[in-house]
């Protein structure tokens, strides 16, 4: 007897992966046969949504399909996701026309940026992570025509000390 587990619910690890938005997802399919369909659903959940199922220490979530969107079948399977702070199940669905399908679930907690009211005399703390393939030009202004005053090497961490009044730069 076979059990179609994704009809029971979506299993995830017990602890969520904690990220800031946006974040990059990368799916690796080291298989000889490329799937015919590869899609991702982002399903907002709360601890109250968790199913009472207890199998292998996993957390189980209702099989809500969410709003799936297709992942390009060409490798690498990489996407940048922008999600509001909260708890999500990322459900990956893969199907092969002749073989069948498989689903994977990932529990993700999108953390809020730490911000406080500076008018009350408190410090403002924020964290922004930018992933770049190479170094970044540091400019005197927000335009690509602004003068380059330095280069930020790849994987370098810096502290942001200010922003334009509109927060755009």
* Other Cβ atoms within 10 Å of 40 Cβ, number: 21
Domain boundaries, the chain: 9-111
Q: How far apart are CA 135 and CA 151, in angstroms?
A: 6
Q: How far apart are CA 113 and CA 85, in angstroms?
A: 9
Query: With 50 as the cut, is the pLDDT of residue 34 above it?
Result: yes
CATH number at 9-111:
2.60.40
Confidence (pTM): 0.61
Task: Dump the DSSP string for 100-149.
Answer: EEEEEEEEEEEEPPP---GGGTPPP--------SS-EEEESSSSTTSPEE
Query: pLDDT by residue (tens digit) across 82-138?
Result: 888 899 999 888 888 888 888 888 999 998 865 444 444 444 444 455 556 567 777
């Amino acid at each position: 007897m076979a059990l179609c587990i994704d009809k029971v619910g979506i299993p995830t690890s017990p602890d969520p992966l904690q990220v800031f938005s946006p974040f990059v997802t990368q799916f690796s399919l080291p298989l000889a046969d490329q799937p015919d369909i590869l899609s991702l659903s982002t399903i907002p959940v709360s601890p109250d949504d968790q199913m009472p199922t207890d199998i292998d220490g996993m957390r189980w979530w209702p099989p809500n399909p969410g709003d799936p969107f297709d992942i390009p079948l060409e490798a690498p399977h990489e996407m940048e996701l922008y999600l509001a702070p909260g708890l999500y199940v990322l459900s990956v669905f893969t199907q092969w026309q002749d073989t069948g399908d498989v689903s994977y679930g990932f529990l993700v907690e999108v953390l809020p940026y730490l911000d406080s009211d500076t008018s009350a005399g408190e410090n403002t703390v924020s964290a922004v992570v930018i992933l770049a393939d190479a170094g970044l030009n540091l400019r005197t202004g927000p335009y690509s025509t602004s003068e380059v005053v330095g280069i930020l090497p790849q994987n370098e961490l810096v502290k942001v000390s200010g922003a334009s009044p509109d927060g755009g730069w």
